Each structure stands twice: as C-alpha cells, then as structure tokens.
Amino acid sequence: MTPRFDAIGMVASDMAASVTFYRRLGFAFPEGAEELPHAEAELPGGLRLMLDSEETVRSFLPEWQPPTGGGRTSLALLCASPAEVDSVYEEMVGAGYHGELKPWDADWGQRYASLLDPDGNGVDLFAPLPGAAQ
C-alpha cells in the first residue's frame, strides 16, 4: 500500500473566525461549520482543508499547546491574473485581515502577496506575470 496525499489539517483557535476567513477566499465550508469542532472544505482535485478546534486536538493529545513564533507553512492560492492578486489582497485587508506582504512583482515571474489567517498561518496569493516563463 502507498499512502496518498488527501488533506491539509490545521488547528484553529477560533473556528468561526477561521471558517469566515477561508470562506472569503472561496473555500466551501458547509453551513454551520463555524460551530463545529471539526470542519472540512473540499479542494480541487479531491483534497480537503480540515480545521480542528484546539479543544478537539486536546481531546486526543491533552498536552498539545499552540506553537509560538513565526509559521513554517503557508497555503498558496493561484489567482486568475496579477490584477486578481491585487484585488483579493485589498479585499481581505479591507475586511480587517492582516496583510503580511503587499502585492509585488517577484523576480521569479509572478505577482505575489501574502496574508495571515486568524492563527497567523500564511496564505500566499500569486499569478504569472504577462510574458513570464512558467
């Protein structure tokens, strides 16, 4: 048997805030997910984004504590165009979310920006620049 990549799991300190953030970015969490201890949104290709409350994680790992310091992972979301990178970033920052890195034209040929979700996890927005080799 060979294990296959199936889901991305994240711990949410505030489930409602996390579900709201990811819904705003287009993740289809079911109605009522804000109130659940575990919620899933299906991603393209059949993958899932799974959110668990801190209480859920402590139910099977009582000594679990939230990490401190900077994050080491991020989700990267492909946008349809460089303009969409800018508009999504501005919409999210305008809604009160933390913009970690304003949109810019990266040396590697992409329009790129970074947000932080309510728990400080990185969410990168990117799109190929016109004429850039991909």
Could you read off the pLDDT of 32-55 as tens digits, one per residue?
999 999 999 999 889 999 999 999
Q: Which residue has the higher pLDDT, 72 or 9?
A: 9
Point out which residues pair with 124 in neighbouring strands: 76, 114
- pLDDT the model gives residue 119: 92
- Cα–Cα distance for residue pair 119/90, rounded to 1 Å: 19
Which residues neighbour 40 within 8 Å (Cβ) at sequence distance 6 or greater? Answer: 7, 29, 48, 49, 50, 51
- pLDDT the model gives residue 71: 72
Instruction: Say what the pTM is.
Output: 0.90
* Exposed / middle / buried, residue 21 (Cβ in 10 Å: 0-12, 13-18, 19+): buried
Give me the phi and psi of 44, to 5 degrees please. Answer: -55, 145
Task: Quick: pLDDT tens for 66-116.
Answer: 888 777 789 999 999 999 999 999 999 999 999 999 999 999 999 999 999
